[in-house]
Each structure stands twice: as structure tokens, then as C-alpha cells.
A and B are shown apart, each in its own frame.
Chain A
Amino acid sequence: MKKIDVQNQPVLPPRRVFQIALTGVKYRLFRATVTVAVIIVAMAFLMNILTESLIKRAVADSVREQIVDLHRVDRWIARLSMPQPHEDLLALLTNGEAEAEAWTELAARGGLAMKELEALQPQARAAQDALHFFAALDYGRRRVLVGPAESIQIFHRLQEAGAWEQFAANLTDMKTLRFPTDMDSFQAFLGDWPALYDALEGVREGQSAALAALRAQLGDTPLMGALGQVDGAFGDQIRAAGFSLSAAEADTLVSEVERLEQTLRIEATINNPGVRQKVAALRDVLPGDVTLSMIWDLLRDRDRAVWFIAAMQENGLETDRLTPEGLEALARQRAHTRLLQVAEQQTMGAGGGLMGIGARMTWLALVSMLVCAVGIANAMLMSVTERFREIATLKCLGALDAFIMSLFLIEACLLGLVGGLGGALAGFVLAGGRMALMFRGLLVQAFPWGDVAVAAGISVMLGMVLAAVSAVYPSLRAARLAPMEAMRIE
């Protein structure tokens, strides 16, 4: 049989294919816009989640230290009121080397040698691991395993007759649970627990004794007032009682207490009818509607602060040590503190998971990606199936399968690119706006530009890839068919 004198078809230059694809997109602009809109929505959703989580993480990182400072006075009051809880001591013991001072204090309090402390460290670590495990358990399962016991009581309970066997049996039944150590070493730990507990109790007793002595020296002076002079004799008493307190820490404490005290005085003015009336007149509201934040807003202005101090004096309130500059600074500090508190609340659970956006957010992001994929696949599938007739015609005119594939891939990538960019922008604006409202000033220094750029890149790429991948299958199917068969599918 004779061979036909066919040569292979030339491949169209990419520029020409691109031109044809572009003309096609322009012609079906409305259809393309709908597809792009689907991609925009999908990618905006993803970008929104990513940006919010990244911002929260960055803010959490940047405010962590300031938040620790925020609670300094509270922490000292707690320390000077009662012995530390067992759990805190266990934590100190576990990461002892990192806080050498704390360790020295521990040793002194418990009357233990450093060697002894070191010997206790592995057990303390085992105790902490176990405590984490039980704390993370849901109530029902914990109840089955260890009854109503909580925290270190669990270790005591497991010492009771029969409790261990029951615990071990139940744990084996709960197949999805992973205990941090094997059962033998946990049992060994439980054997050692009474000794560890005694050591901890020793430390606590030492602390109690020291605190009792301290309180005797204080007499009737309230702790808060005493802390206001911690840079003087009281600081020495604290050190003498065996607490580590640096001079710098003492100075900070003093100014912090002073600030707290001034804050309390300002906030007490709201109970003074005279001051209240003046503020109400100024703000043109009823005296009953005057709020604390109204007063703090006033004080942020220097002139108003002067006016406010005068108002306090007029009404017979103590203005000793209150200066307009001081009040202004206090008001600003308070606004910042508020912001920090909001940040602390909002960024709880930030970090971890993919890109550090948190485990929950990772889930959300993955699920949203899935939803995007389905939406985009559907949109692309529709726009390709609509064009089977066109594909068939092009094939009748001598188009190669590769040409048809590249036509659709180019179109899909183009739509994906536009949709991805639009979505990234929309998601960024949305998330950025919301976060800016929430964190305000904190955001300026902490804004994670680099991470957000990466997230935007991911969204754009994902938009393109999803669009391209979902266009491949239907266009490949259409390109492979004989032209008339493709024309028949409608």
C-alpha cells in the first residue's frame, strides 16, 4: 500500500498561540470574568486566612516581652503572698540550668544540695510530660483514667491500691492515645514520686517560713505599698528572705507600682460627683454617662490634663505627684496596655502548624484550598466544555492536539494569574484592614511583610496551578477525540 506524502504539521510559534488565546479570552470576556471572579473569591479566602494568621503570629512574637512586663507587679505580689505551686516548681526544676538564680533559690529553700537537685531533674521532667498529657486530655477520658484527680493529685491517686492496674488497662483500651513514655518507666517514675513530692514540699515549707518572717517585718503595711519602696529597705528584706531581686528589677517595680497607684487615683475620680459633672459638661453628656475611657481620652491631651488636675483640686481630691506630663504619659501608656491586652487575647494559640499560622488555621487553610480547587475546577470545566465545538473546528482545520492543549493552558494560566493576583490583593486588604483595626500601632513595627509576600506568592501560584490543572483534563479529552465526536458532545 502506498504511503501518503504527509509531512508532520509545523508547530505554531508560542507568540502566535498566545495571541490566539488572548483574542479568545477577550471575546468571551464576560465568561472569563466569571471564572476570574471564582478564582478571586477562592484565593481571597485563602490569602485572608494566611495573612491574618501571619499577622497574629508576628504581633504575638513582638508583644510577648511587653506582656510579661505588664504582669510584673502581679507576679511579685503572688510570689510574696504564698509558696509557689508544685507545678511551677516542677517547671523551674525542669529547665533549671536556664535560670541559675531560680535554682540557687530552690536549693536554699529546700535545704538541698545542687547535686540532689540535679538528681531530681529527670523525674521532674517526666512529671511535667505526664502532666501535659493529662492536661491535654478531654474530661471524659481523664475521668475514666484517673477519676476526679487533677494535676499532681493524679500521681497520688495512682499510688492507691488497684488504681495503677485500672489505669494501665484503660489506657491500653484507648487505642488512639499515646502516652509520652512507656508504661514501665512511668511506673518507675510513680515509685519515685513520693521522694520528689517531699523535696517540693520542703521547698514550699522553706518559702512559707521565709514569707512568714517577711510579713512579720512588714506589719500592717499593705504589700502593694511596700513594693512601692522596694528600692529601699524592703528590697533588702526581700533579698535577705532569700528571693533574688536585682536592683534594676526593683527600680522597674517602683515605677510600675507608682503608675498603678496613679491609675487607681485617676479611676477613682469617676466616683466624685464634682469631677464627673465637669467632665460631663465638657463632653456634653449626662453625668451618668461619663465613662472611664472618656476620662482617659481627655488626659491624652496636655491642656486637658492641666484642666483635669485643676478640676480634681477644686473638688478636694489629692493631686500630690500628679503632673500634666505624667498624666498624659499615663493615658498613652494605658492605651498601649489596652492594645497589648487585646493582642494577648487575640493571639492566643498563634504559631505552630504550616508556616506558623497555627494548627487550627492550617486546617482551615487546607479545607479552603480544597474548596477553591473544586470551585476553580468547576469553572474551568464549564468553560472548556462550552468550547468543544470550537476545539472540533480547530481540529478540522488541522490543529495539533498540542496546540489545543496549549491554547487552553495559556488561557487557564492567564485567568489563574489575574484571579490569583486579585484574590491575593483582596484577601490582603481585608485581613490587613481587620488586623489594623484590632492591633493599631502594634502592627506598624510587627508587620510581617516577608511572610505576607510569600503568602501572596502562594495564593497566586495556587490560583494558576489549580486553574491549569483543572483545564488539562477536559481539554485533553476534547483534543484527543475525533473532531466530529467532540462536536457531538455538547
Chain B
Amino acid sequence: MTAVAPHSQNDASPDAPQRVIIRTVGMKKIYHRGEETTYALRGISVEIFTGEFIVVMGPSGSGKSTFFNMIGALDSPSEGRVFIDEVDVAQLTAEELAFLRCRKIGYIFQSYNLIQYMTALENVTTPMAFGGVNPDEARKRGMDLLELVGLKDRWSHRPIEMSGGQQQRVAIARSLANQPSILLCDEPTANLDHQTGDEILAILQKLNKERGVTTICATHDHRMMNICDRLMWIRDGDIDRIARRDEVEVELGHIE
């Protein structure tokens, strides 16, 4: 029932035929607050393929973060369904959900959500500990990840001792802790200077291209458009438009 060519799924190269990894069907999120009801999502049906790099754009309050939480199995939709790897998330037990969040998906939150009392390294290694990696191995991998985001010499700092951008980078390192196959990034470059932003984008791109990590990014950063496969616009909790990058490039002629 998916529009996918029947090809080998392990092949993660960008031009290989793809398999659906995340699928939502009529996904709605409605917040009730007293008399008032907010429609954060109004029935989103979308398919995301393995190895894809998708950029989600939309004005503030359009429902991007809400969308992320739903497809990341962090929140339950009011209506509709979410399938990850063709498994209905609503059917999973608490342990299975924990496993999914720990190993399959990496999250970069808009507000970082680092654990305040842990050092940068501890923050990065916590998901590894949950995943059963032994402490020495976790420490080594944690340092490698911090090096990747350029914070190796800051490993012993607590979040309050770091700038917003540095916290952002720790969050990115943490999201990669257990080599997830899906990466959900909510504004990953919003608090970074131009150059660090570029570095992060390069990392994301590298992960996407070389390891075939499915990446979904919410952003206002136009540089993202250059590295993505598809763009998705959300407006008022609904999909406004989904387009391939080349289509958009044709339309706009040129993206800087």
C-alpha cells in the first residue's frame, strides 16, 4: 500500500529505492483547555522514507513541534495513527516504547532538555546507559560524540555553565548516542552562529548520506534547503505543501 519500489531496504544510498519508515494516518492533536479547544494538528497523513532528509517549515505555532512529538512516539495523537517501521506506536508496551525511544530515534529538542545536574558527558552517555552499554565503552563513545560537535574539552561542564549554542551541541551529541536510524531535530541550528551551524549541518548531512539516518528537521534556516531531499510546509496544523527540493529550486530559481 505504499508507493515504494520493491528494492533492498538495507541499501541506504540516497538514490536507492526507498521504504516507508514513518507513516501517519489522519493524525490530529487537539488540546482542551476549559471551554477553549486548540487544534494543533488537523489530520496529517504523510509518509517518510528511510534515508530521507526532510525539512519541515512553517510559521511559529503552526504545529511543527507537536508533529515531531507524535512521530517520535513522545505523545499520543488525539485521533489517527502513527506507524514507525510499519508498527503501530499505540500498540507498543511501555518497555517497547522505551526501547524505541532509546535505540531507534534520536531527539534534538527545541529547548535542548538537557539534564541539569549531569555534565555534558553524562548527558550524552545517559541514553547509552539505558541501552545497556557498559560504562567504559559509553564514556569512549560519549567523548567521540562530543569531539564530533566540538565540545571535547567541555565534557565536564554542566548545562548552566554552557552557552545556548553549546547546550544545543550537547543535545545533538546526545541524540546520536545509540546510533539511531531516525533523527528528529527541532530547530537544531537556531541558536548557533553561522560557522557552527554549518558544521552541524555538515554532520547531519554526513550522517544522512553515509549512514542513511532518516532525518527530519524543523527549521527556519535556509541553508537546510540545500541538503534536504524534500520540504514540507505546515500551516495551522495542516500540511500546506510537500515538494522535492528540485521542484522548489525550479520554482524559486535559486536558493542561497
Contact = CB atoms under 8 A, between A and B. Distances in A.
Interface of A: 1-4, 6-10, 12, 16, 23-24, 26-28, 389-390, 392-401, 403, 482-485
A16 B129 contact: yes
B210 interface: no
B4 interface: no
Contacts of B25: none
Closest 3 CB pairs of A and B: A398-B102, A27-B117, A10-B132
B96 interface: yes
Contact of A397 (B84, B92, B130): B130
A356 B205 CA distance: 76
B101 A396 contact: yes
A9 B95 contact: yes
Contacts of B95: 6, 8-9, 400
Contacts of B129: 12, 16
Contacts of A394: 115, 126
15 contacts: A1-B86, A2-B87, A4-B92, A6-B95, A6-B99, A8-B99, A10-B132, A28-B117, A396-B74, A397-B130, A398-B98, A398-B102, A398-B130, A398-B178, A482-B76
Contact of B75 (A7, A16, A483): A483
B186 to A, nearest CB: 12
A26 B117 contact: yes
B240 interface: no
Contacts of B74: 396, 482-484
B118 A23 contact: yes
Interface string B69-107: 100101110000000111110001011101111110001
Contacts of A389: 113
Contacts of B85: 2, 4
Nearest to B101: A398
Interface in B133-176: 135, 158, 174
Interface in B107-128: 107, 109, 113-118, 122, 126-127
Contacts of A396: 72, 74, 101, 107, 109, 113
Contacts of A485: 75
B98 A4 contact: no
Given A27-B158, A397-B126, 20 more contacts: A2-B86, A4-B84, A6-B99, A8-B99, A9-B98, A9-B99, A12-B129, A23-B117, A26-B117, A27-B117, A390-B115, A390-B116, A393-B113, A393-B114, A396-B72, A396-B101, A398-B101, A398-B131, A401-B94, A482-B76
A355 to B, nearest CB: 41
Interface of B: 69, 72, 74-76, 84-88, 92, 94-96, 98-103, 107, 109, 113-118, 122, 126-127, 129-132, 135, 158, 174, 178
Contacts of B122: 23
A6 B94 CA distance: 11
Contacts of A4: 84-85, 87, 92, 96, 100
Nearest to A483: B74
B132 A398 contact: no
B116 A27 contact: yes
B237 to A, nearest CB: 16
A401 B101 CA distance: 13
Nearest to B107: A396
Contacts of B127: 397-398
Contacts of A390: 115-116
Contacts of A392: 113
Contact of B131 (A10, A16, A24, A27): A10
A12 B174 CA distance: 18
A484 B100 contact: no
A28 B116 CA distance: 10
A482 B75 CA distance: 6
A6 B104 CA distance: 9
A295 B118 CA distance: 70
A376 to B, nearest CB: 22
Contacts of B109: 396
Contacts of B117: 23-24, 26-28
A28 B117 CA distance: 8
Contacts of B158: 27
A35 to B, nearest CB: 16
A211 B174 CA distance: 101
A485 B76 CA distance: 9
A1 B88 contact: yes
A122 to B, nearest CB: 71
A179 B118 CA distance: 68
Contacts of B87: 1-4
A151 B33 CA distance: 72
A12 B127 CA distance: 11
A12 B135 CA distance: 11
Among B76, B114, B129, which residue has the most Cβ atoms of chain A within 10 A? B129
B75 A484 contact: yes
A33 to B, nearest CB: 15
Contacts of B84: 4
A196 B113 CA distance: 88
Contacts of A484: 69, 74-75
Contacts of B114: 393
A289 to B, nearest CB: 66
Contacts of A8: 95-96, 99
Contacts of B132: 9-10
A406 to B, nearest CB: 13
Contacts of B92: 4, 6
Contact of B98 (A2, A23, A24, A399): A399
